[in-house]
Structure 1
């Protein structure tokens, strides 16, 4: 039994582009989160403790988002390369068939 393989390279490229768009959007969120924070001492001892924890959580989430952005950027590159490889393989297979006739 032979497996039938098809690859829509336009859809693969579109997926890669969408991933890049998501990475850009998340990068904007990351930039905004990086600016969040305030001087916790302005809010008294209870508020200061809360805001200090909040600032640490925001910093942690900013790092997490940066990792997601990097992964999405990698997805974009991988999708573009995969589409190119499928396209090249299709052309090579066609050339072999034509050469055999």
Structure 2
């Protein structure tokens, strides 16, 4: 006689987490590991982690791993407008 399939709670949670993560990726953009983030930014992997921990790059934890949206990395790569000093002798 076949025994009914018993669902392990831990495996069910992992399956659900991956389903949610897959939904996040398709709705909000591609999630990248810190190694890929580092390659795109031209820095070390540890520097990519530091950017996350300092708050310069928003991230989510997937298990024990950080994931960063590609759009956040691209925004960090874009040049920021710089303020220029106004010549003190200039008078309109």
Per the normalisation by structure 1, the TM-score is 0.25
Select the structure that is richer in strand.
2
Higher relative contact order (CA 8 A, sep 6+): 1
> Bigger radius of gyration, 1 or 2?
1
Per the normalisation by structure 2, the TM-score is 0.27
